[in-house]
Structure 1
Amino acid sequence: MSDKSRKVAIIGGGPTGIGVARELIEGGIEVDLFETEADFGGVWNGDAPCGRTYRSLHLISPKFNTQVPDFPMPEDYPPYPDHHQMLAYIRSYAKAFGIYERAHFNADVESLTKEADGWRLKTRAGHDARYPLVVVANGLQRVPRYPDPAYPGEFDGEILHVRDYKSADQCRDKRVLVVGGGNSGCDVAVDAVRTAVCVHHSTRRGYYYQPKFIAGKPTPQWMMELGNKFATKEETLAYIEEVFRLAGYDGTDYGLPKPDYPLDAAHPVMNSLLLYHIGHGDIAPKGDIARFEGKTVHFRDGSSAEFDLILYATGYRRDFPFLDASLLEWKGAIPDLFLHSTPRNLDDILFMGFINAAGGLGDGLKTQGQFVLMYARAWFGKTPGLERFLAAKKTDAPDLGQTHFIDSYRHQWEADLWKLLAHMRRYREMLAEGAPDLKGEAAQ
C-alpha cells in the first residue's frame, strides 16, 4: 500500500469530479481521480452503464449558464445543447486542464476504509493507497428509485426505469404509461409519442411547466434579466406566472391540477412540448395509480387502462457502495451534510455534487471546486480557519432555502442556488484564514 500524504483522492469522473480536480490542480494540490468507466462523462457518458442519456436528449439548462464562465462552450452550440455536445464539452474541459493525466480509468472503487490518518482506498483494478482527504463525487443518479410503498397488485407487462431508456424504439407499437412528473418523466413522455400506440402520464400533484424560450431567449436568461423590475419577489413570480399562462403553459388550462405551492418551491420542469401533446390528445394525463391487475392499471380517480410498458421516472437514491454507511450521520434517507457537502462528524471527506438547484452547472461547479481547494489548503495546513470551520459546521444552520421547497424525496437536497453559493463563498473565506498558497510552494 502506498501513502499519498499530501494528495486528494476524487471518486467520480462526471462534471463535478473534473470540476473539483481542475481547481485543486490549479491551486497546487495533487490529485488522483478514480473513474469506474473508460472515460469521463458521468451521466452524459451514454455508452457506459453510468450514462443516463437517450437518443433525442437535450439539456434542460441553457448553454449560457451550463458552461463554466472561463471555459465557454463552442459558439456553434445551440442554446440547449444535445447530450453528445455536452459530453464533448466535459471531455474538452478535462483535457484542457490536465485532468486526464491524473485519472485512473476502469478503476471502480471497491472500498474506502477509515483509518487513523485518513482513508485507505482500494479499487478493483488493484490500486491500494492511503489518502488524507477524499472527495466523493460519484453522482446523484446511481440507483433507480421506485414508488415506496409499491403499488398493490402485479403488473404483467414490461417495466423499465428511465435509467434504461435509450430511445423511442423501446416504445414502438406499445401502450405506454410514464410514471413521474419531473423533467425526465415529461421529456420521456414527449419522446415516446413518436412511436407508441398511446402514452399516458401519471403524476401525483400539479406542476408548473416552463417553456424553454420566452421572448426569443432561454427562459432562465429571460428570468434573470427581469432583475429588480418588481418591488417584491411575490410580484416577480406573479408576473412570470402570467407570462407563462399567456404563452400557453398553465397546466390548469389543459385540465391538470393547480400546483399547491409557489412557483419557486419546486425544481423547475422545463418542457415546451408536454402541454402541446396533451392539448393534441397525444398524451393522456392521469393522477396517481391505485393498483395493478395484469396489464390493467387502475387509477385513484376510478378510471383504468391497459398498458404494455410502464416507464418509471421516479428518481434515484444516493449510493456509496464502497463506504460503510454507519460512518455517516443520516437525516431521513440522505446523509446529514453541512452545505450539502461536508459531514458534521467527519473532517477528512467531502461529498460534492449532491445537490439540486434551479440553475446551470457553470457557476455551481466553479464555486464548489474553489470551496474544496480552500478546504484542502486549510486541511493540509491545519490552519486557524480550519478550526473555525470545523466548529461552525457542528452548530451553524445556514439558510439554503430548504424550508421553502415542497416535501418530497428529491427536494431533501434541493437548495436556493444563490443562497448556497453565497454561503459556500462565506465559509470559503473562513477557511482561507491562515491557509498557505500551496501552488506557490509547489513552484519553489
Structure 2
Amino acid sequence: MNPIALIGAGPSGLAGARALSRAGIPFIGFEAGPDVGGLWNIDNPRSTMYESAHLISSRTTTEFAEFPMRSTADYPGHRELHRYFRDYADAFGLCEHYRFDTRVTAVEAIDGDATGASGWRVTAVAADGTSTTTEHPAVILANGTLAEPNVPTFRGEFAGELMHTSAYKSPKVLEGKRVLIIGAGNSGCDIAVDAVHHAASVDLSVRRGYYFVPRYLFGRPADTLNQGRPLPARIKQFVDTRVLKSFTGDPVRFGFPKPDYRIYESHPIVNTLILNHLGQGDLRVVADIDRFDGSTVHFADGSAADYDLVMLATGYRLDYPFVDRAHLNWTAAAPELYLNVFPPSFNGLFVLGMIEASGIGWQGRYEQAELIAAYLAAARDEPDAASRFRATAAKPWPDLTGGYRYLGLDRMSYYVNKDAYRRTVKRVLRTLPAPAASVVPAASGHPVASAGPAPASAGDTATDTRKADTRA
C-alpha cells in the first residue's frame, strides 16, 4: 500500500508524524520550508514570526507531554522553541520521512472520485522548480491555520506604508515613525510594546474590548493555577473576571471599550505590558477606522491623525489552497468537520491542527493525531471497527464549547473549549482498537516521559500559544 501523505512539519505536522510512526503507518511528509518548526522557524520564508515573539502559554502547559522542554524559561522565545521542535524530530527520527523545500500545489481525487475510494493525487514543487506527483490512500493536512493574512478593506487610500503583522520581523521598521496599529490581539499588543521603544508615536485602533491576562499570578505562571480541576463555565468566568480586575484593573480606564462578551468567549490577551505603557502615556487607544485620506486616518468617533505606517494586526484567514473546498465540507469561514478533523464523508482527507482553544497546547494536537492514526490503523486492520467509528459521525456531534458562548466571528469558527474537546477526543479514541506500536528510536540526551501512549498534558488548563490571537 502507498504511504499516507502528511503536509506540514510545524507542531501539528510533527505530532502527526510521531503518531503515525508510533502506529506503524507508512507516510511521506511534505514541508514547504527547509526545516521543521513551521511558523516558529523565523527563517522559514512562510513564517509569520517576529523577533520579540514568545509563548503566551507557559512551557509546561504547552509542550508535548512525552517530551518535556529543556528550557528553564517559563515563556520561551521562538528560537528556543525552534530548537525544541528540531530535538523532537531528531529524537523520534521524523525528518527522514519528510521532503523539505517541497511545496504542495494540489491535492486531487484520483479518477475524480471525491469519495476517496481511489485515493488522492498530491502534486508538489521542489525548490529547484521540479514538480512531482504521487498517489496516496489518504492525506493529512497539517499545514497550519495562521499563514494567510486577513487584510480588510478600508475606504480611501493610505499614502504611507501599509503592513500586515505577517510581514513584521523586527522593530527596526518602526524606527522614528508615527505608527498606527489596527487590532489589539496578542500580536498587535506585542508589536505595540515593541513600537513604544522605537517609534515616534504609537496609536492602537480597536473596535471592541478585551480581557488582559498577566503571565504571572501569585508568583506562578497564570495558566498553571487550578490545574486539572476545571470549573463550570459561568463560575470560572465569575471568579476569573474578579481576579483579573484585582491584578490588572479595568482596561476601560486606559481607553479600551467595555467588552461585549464574557471572559474566555474570545481568546484573552496575555500581555499586561500594554497596560503599563498606556498608563505611562507611551501610546494611546483610538477608535475604529472610518477612512484613509493620504497620510491622514479618520476614525469612527470623528477624530483624525497623521501616520507614516499602518500595521494591520487583523489576523489570518483559514486556507487550504491546494484542495477543493467541497472535499473538506467547507460551509462558511472554515470546514465543518467531525471533531474538527474528519470530513463527514470520510473521504480519506484529514485536517490536523484546525483547533483554537485556550489551553489546548501541542499535546491537544498530538491527541488529534493519535485519533487519526488509530482510525487509519483500524481501516487497514479492523474495518468493522472503522465502520462503527464512521457511524458516530452520522449522529449528533458532541458539544465542544464546554458551556462557553463563543463570539460568532470568522476567526472563532473552529474554536473549542479545551477541556470538552480533549475529554471527547480521548473518549472517542477508546472506541478504536489500539494500533500495534512500532519501534521508535530513543531520544538522544533528551528526557522522554513515556515510551507508551503519551500521558495527559500538564497543560489541561493552559492559555494557548502566542499565535492563537484575538486580532480583530
Query: TM-score if structure 1 supplies the norm length?
Result: 0.92
1:245 is matched with 245
How far apart, CA to CA, are the structure 2 residues paired with 1:256 and 1:327? 42
Verify the 8 A CA contact 1:29 1:438 in the aligned structure 2. Answer: no
Aligned counterparts, 1:35-434, within 5 A: 35-74=31-70, 76-115=71-110, 116-125=117-126, 126-147=131-152, 150-224=153-227, 227=229, 233-401=233-401, 404-432=405-433
How far apart, CA to CA, are the structure 1 residues paired with 2:275 and 2:55? 19
How far apart, CA to CA, are the structure 1 residues paired with 2:26 and 2:61? 29
Question: Counterpart of 1:319 in structure 2: which amino acid?
Answer: D
How far apart, CA to CA, are the structure 1 residues paired with 2:210 and 2:287? 12
How far apart, CA to CA, are the structure 1 residues paired with 2:29 and 2:249? 43
How far apart, CA to CA, are the structure 1 residues paired with 2:76 and 2:435? 40
Question: Counterpart of 1:114 in structure 2: which amino acid?
Answer: A
The one-character-per-residue Cα deviations of 1:360-409 (angstroms, maximum 9, x if unpaired) are 52321331121121111122225222112222213322101187101211
Write 1 or 2 for the structure with the bigger share of strand.
Answer: 1
How far apart, CA to CA, are the structure 1 residues paired with 2:313 and 2:432? 40
How far apart, CA to CA, are the structure 2 residues paired with 1:16 and 1:185? 24
How far apart, CA to CA, are the structure 2 residues paired with 1:321 and 1:412? 18
Q: How many Å apart are 1:71 and its aligned residue?
A: 0.5
The alignment partner of 1:57 has SS state of: coil
Q: How many Å apart are 1:214 and its aligned residue?
A: 0.6
Verify the 8 A CA contact 1:355 1:414 in the aligned structure 2. Answer: yes
Question: Counterpart of 1:400 in structure 2: which amino acid?
Answer: L
Q: How many Å apart are 1:282 and its aligned residue?
A: 1.1
Verify the 8 A CA contact 2:203 2:284 in the aligned structure 1. Answer: yes
Q: 1:12 aligns with which of 8, 12, 29?
A: 8
Q: How many Å apart are 1:436 and its aligned residue?
A: 5.6
Q: How many Å apart are 1:316 and its aligned residue?
A: 1.0
Q: How many Å apart are 1:56 and its aligned residue?
A: 1.4
Q: How many Å apart are 1:272 and its aligned residue?
A: 2.2
How far apart, CA to CA, are the structure 2 residues paired with 1:324 and 1:360? 28
How far apart, CA to CA, are the structure 1 residues paired with 2:318 and 2:388? 29
How far apart, CA to CA, are the structure 2 residues paired with 1:167 and 1:316? 20
Verify the 8 A CA contact 2:123 2:132 in the aligned structure 1. Answer: yes
Verify the 8 A CA contact 1:210 1:249 in the aligned structure 2. Answer: no
How far apart, CA to CA, are the structure 1 residues paired with 2:173 and 2:233? 44
The alignment partner of 2:431 has SS state of: helix
Q: How many Å apart are 1:256 and its aligned residue?
A: 2.0
The alignment partner of 1:110 has SS state of: strand
The alignment partner of 2:394 has SS state of: helix
Verify the 8 A CA contact 1:11 1:35 in the aligned structure 2. Answer: yes
Structure 1: 4+ residue segments shifted above 4 A: none
The one-character-per-residue Cα deviations of 1:130-150 (angstroms, maximum 9, x if unpaired) are 111110001101211022xx2
How far apart, CA to CA, are the structure 2 residues paired with 1:100 and 1:133? 20
Distance of aligned partners of 1:20 and 1:77 in 2 relative to their CA distance in 1, 3 Å threshold: same
The percentage of counterpart residues that share the same residue type is: 37
Question: Counterpart of 1:303 in structure 2: which amino acid?
Answer: S
How far apart, CA to CA, are the structure 2 residues paired with 1:248 and 1:360? 25
Query: TM-score if structure 2 supplies the norm length?
Result: 0.87
Distance of aligned partners of 1:308 and 1:406 in 2 relative to their CA distance in 1, 3 Å threshold: same
How far apart, CA to CA, are the structure 2 residues paired with 1:383 and 1:136? 23
The one-character-per-residue Cα deviations of 1:60-85 (angstroms, maximum 9, x if unpaired) are 111011111111000x4300000000
How far apart, CA to CA, are the structure 2 residues paired with 1:316 and 1:99? 28
CA RMSD of aligned residues (A): 1.8
Verify the 8 A CA contact 2:346 2:390 in the aligned structure 1. Answer: no
How far apart, CA to CA, are the structure 2 residues paired with 1:338 and 1:178? 37
Q: How many Å apart are 1:306 and its aligned residue?
A: 0.7
How far apart, CA to CA, are the structure 2 residues paired with 1:6 and 1:48? 29
Deviates more, 1:50-59 or 1:197-206: 50-59
Q: How many Å apart are 1:325 and its aligned residue?
A: 2.5
Q: How many Å apart are 1:414 and its aligned residue?
A: 0.9
Verify the 8 A CA contact 1:34 1:103 in the aligned structure 2. Answer: yes
- Unmatched segments (≥5 aa) in structure 2: 111-116, 440-472
The alignment partner of 1:124 has SS state of: strand
Q: How many Å apart are 1:6 and its aligned residue?
A: 4.8
Question: Counterpart of 1:138 in structure 2: which amino acid?
Answer: N
Verify the 8 A CA contact 1:209 1:250 in the aligned structure 2. Answer: no
The one-character-per-residue Cα deviations of 1:125-178 (angstroms, maximum 9, x if unpaired) are 34322111110001101211022xx22111111000000000111111111111
Verify the 8 A CA contact 1:121 1:131 in the aligned structure 2. Answer: yes
Verify the 8 A CA contact 1:212 1:218 in the aligned structure 2. Answer: yes
Verify the 8 A CA contact 1:347 1:390 in the aligned structure 2. Answer: no
How far apart, CA to CA, are the structure 2 residues paired with 1:311 and 1:420? 34
The alignment partner of 2:39 has SS state of: helix
Give the paired residue count: 428
Question: Counterpart of 1:112 in structure 2: which amino acid?
Answer: V
How far apart, CA to CA, are the structure 2 residues paired with 1:431 and 1:347? 18
How far apart, CA to CA, are the structure 2 residues paired with 1:372 and 1:103? 19
